[in-house]
Chains A and B, each alone.
Chain A
Amino acid sequence: MQYVIRRLIFLIPTLLSMLIGVFMLLHLTPGDPVEMLLDIDTAYVPKEQLDLIRKDLGLDRPLYEQFFRYVSRVIRGDLGTSYRSKLPVTQHVRSAAVPTLHLALGGMIIALLIGVPAGIVSAVKPNTLTDYVTVTLSMIGLSAPTFWLGILLIYVFAFRLPWFPMIGDGAGSAISVLKHLVLPAFVIGVHSAALLARLTRSAMLEALSQDYIRTAHSKGLMPRVVIIRHALRNAAIPVVAAAGTMFAYSLTGSVVVEMVFSRRGLGYLMVGAINGRDFPLVQGLILVFGTAIVLTNLVTDLLIGAIDPRVSHG
């Protein structure tokens, strides 16, 4: 418990530096925020009016004061207003979060379902054909660019074989949502699956070479029991550690995958916001992504402690 509290306190400097970075983003970017907000050439607007807007936005205050205002707004859950839609950023985030969460979770499930068994199989039978095929496939999976894999799957499974819908995130029924999720989740899961397969393989190889495995075998236990109960449990720690990081990467990987499949999630929103130079929205999204990743890392660490009693959080 003490450890949890300490970890939570350690979050503060990380989150603070993230806030500074995101805040500076707007001030490092060339261009006048007022001009971007109005979306017109400010040369035709009287200077008094511009100053009024600037004052209204607090842009005439010193930088540190602007920063404190920004932080206090963010803490109260106000991420600002989008330049383009004039809607609160939180509203955008809330509606886009669901497709992205579906995608990230779906990707994780696929990665675990493919990656872990593949790693176990190739570790149990090292240097066989199965092992070579797994290792080769995981190497290719690690190298395949997400955007290309997505388009390839659309071509094969939506054009050639009309099994799945091409694009969109599906609305209404759960079945439609699920159908729209299969291809993108697979695309986002492949990279993690490949990484997991490699990790599981090496962790299992390591675990299988330990003395207690020989003891378990000599006790006459079934090979399946030895592999699952003795080896896998000990191989699980590095795998769980990596799975946490993978979830974080799946979240940002959604940027590319959502563009390929036109899913209106956080990544789709982000690309549109960067292209439209909609800075409050970009800032808000980076904060959301960043916080999600920092929290995922925290949960992973705590999870490892729960699985492995040897890890002491003292």
Chain B
Amino acid sequence: MDRAQTIPQLRDAPFREPPSTVWRMRRQFLRRLLWTRKTGGIGALIVLALVVLAVAAPLLAPYDPADQDLTRRYKSPSAQNLLGTDNFGRDMLSRVIWGARVSMLVGVVAVLISLLVGGFLGITGGYVGGILDQVICSFVETLMAFPFLLLALTIITVLGPGLFNVMLAIGLASVPMFARVLRAEVLAAREREYVTAARSIGASQSRIIYRHILPNIMASLIVLGTTRIATAVLTESSLSFLGLGIRPPTPSWGVMVAEGRAFLERAPWIALVPGAIVLVTILGFNLFGDSLRDALDVRLRHVRK
């Protein structure tokens, strides 16, 4: 007889909180996330604004970011060009808005790459254990000893510059971090009663990992991902500033700072504005990540009781 028929409720009807409780918990969670520590709300606003800018860049940008107007070079911020124009007479505001798209793309894709590769390594190591785990661990520990920027630079040396290579380099450089955190989380989750319970009713390994362990380590994944987006954005702009990342004319904030540097005396806004936007971006993701961590931790503790 099929297992699902003997104990159907274990497979098909997991225990759920009544809907009213779920909504109350969600409201409480949001309140903690955005309101209890005001910085979390500020961070969330910044992140939201960046996402809107990135998604709706073509609609929001007043001009084409690549449109050159050599009669209107080095114009200081005015009603016509809110953030001024650069050395080619391009509208700075439009370039900054399109830059948000580049930065968010790099941040999200890089984090997804490290999540996939690092997650695979960490979950395999943590769940399977044994020699495989030891090999992965020593590999990860060796790489963790080196600063992030050095790893990214090394990978860029092999890959060469360009948008896709930058995403790949930053993503791969983050792999050790993700592998380590995920491994620790899986190790902790593996010993919990619900995993033993799942195993005892004959659930397969992949089912245990995907249906039981993964949802329970989601909170730490989200927090890690949010803060790593900040690092990815910072690293992308640094690499692009050095001329080793995204190449002009793509409007990356790092490229814009590097280009504006030569005109610092004549038109300081060309270099200073995009850099300030990078600061606000990093600040937003850091604040939001911190608040997310606090809020999720509180909820985790709540559930454990």
Q: Which residues of A contact B (CB under 8 A)?
A: 13-14, 17-18, 21, 25, 28-29, 139-140, 142-149, 151-152, 154-155, 159, 248-249, 251-253, 255-256, 259, 270-271, 274-275, 279, 282, 286, 289-290, 293-294, 297
Given contacts A151-B272, A290-B150, 13 further A-B contacts (CB under 8 A): A25-B157, A143-B286, A144-B282, A147-B254, A148-B278, A155-B264, A248-B147, A252-B147, A252-B150, A255-B153, A255-B242, A282-B157, A286-B150
Majority DSSP secondary structure for residues of A touching B: helix
Residue in A closest to B142 when the chains form the complex, CB atoms? A17
Nearest Cβ distance between residue B140 and chain A, in whole angstroms? 12
- Measured CB to CB, the closest approach of chain B to A289, in angstroms, equals 6
Please tell me if B154 contacts chain A, counting CB pairs below 8 Å. yes
Which of A29, A143, A249, A286 lies at the interface centre, i.e. has the most chain B CB atoms within 10 A of its CB?
A143
Residue in B145, B146, B257 whose CB lies within 8 Å of A151: B257
Q: Which of B145, B153, B275 meets A297, CB within 8 Å?
A: B145
Nearest-CB residue, chain B, relative to A279: B157
Give Cα A290 to B149, complex, Å.
Answer: 12
Given contacts A14-B142, A154-B264, contact A275 B238 (CB under 8 A): no
B264 touches A159 (CB 8 A): yes
Which residue in B145, B238, B261, B276 is a CB contact (below 8 Å) of A256? B238
Q: Answer whether A252 and B149 are a contact pair too, CB < 8 Å, given A29-B158, A152-B275.
A: yes
Considering residues B145, B234, B244, B258, which has the most beta carbons from chain A within 10 angstroms of its beta carbon?
A: B145
Q: Provide the bound-state CA to CA distance between A270 and B152, in Å.
A: 13
A145 to B279, CA, bound (A): 6
When distances are taken between beta carbons in the complex, the residues of chain A under 8 Å from B149 are: 252-253, 255-256
Residues of chain B within 8 A of A289, CB atoms compared? 150
Asked if B156 lies at the interface with its beta carbon under 8 angstroms from chain A, I say: yes
B74 proximal to A (CB < 8 A):
no
Interface SS of chain B: helix
B181 at the A/B interface (Cβ < 8 Å)? no
Interface residues of B (CB under 8 A from A): 39, 138, 142, 145-147, 149-150, 153-154, 156-158, 230, 234, 237-238, 241-244, 254, 257-258, 261, 264-265, 268, 271-272, 275-276, 278-279, 282-283, 286-287
Q: Decide if B282 touches A145 in the complex (CB within 8 Å).
A: yes
Distance of A248 Cα from B278 Cα, bound (Å): 24
CA distance A14 to B254 in the complex (A): 33
Pairwise interchain contact A28-B158, C-beta atoms closer than 8 A = yes
* Those 8 A-B pairs whose CB atoms lie nearest each other, nearest first: A148-B275, A143-B282, A143-B283, A252-B147, A147-B241, A252-B150, A145-B278, A144-B279
A155, B157: Cβ atoms closer than 8 Å: no
Do A148 and B145 contact each other (CB < 8 Å), given the known contacts A155-B268, A255-B153, A274-B156?
no
A-B contact pairs, 20 of them (CB 8 A): A13-B138, A13-B142, A14-B145, A140-B279, A144-B282, A145-B234, A145-B279, A148-B272, A151-B261, A151-B264, A152-B272, A152-B275, A248-B147, A255-B149, A255-B153, A256-B149, A282-B157, A286-B150, A289-B150, A290-B146
Q: Which residues of A contact B241 (CB under 8 A)?
A: 147, 256, 259
Question: Cβ of A139 and Cβ of B278 under 8 Å apart?
Answer: no
CB distance from A276 to the nearest CB of B (A): 11
What's the nearest-Cβ distance from chain B to residue A14, in Å? 6
Verify A155–B272 contact, CB threshold 8 A. yes
Chain B hits for A148, CB < 8 A:
257, 271-272, 275-276, 278-279
Give the docked Cα–Cα distance between A105 and B150 (Å).
19
- Complex formed: what's the CA distance from A253 to B152 in Å? 13
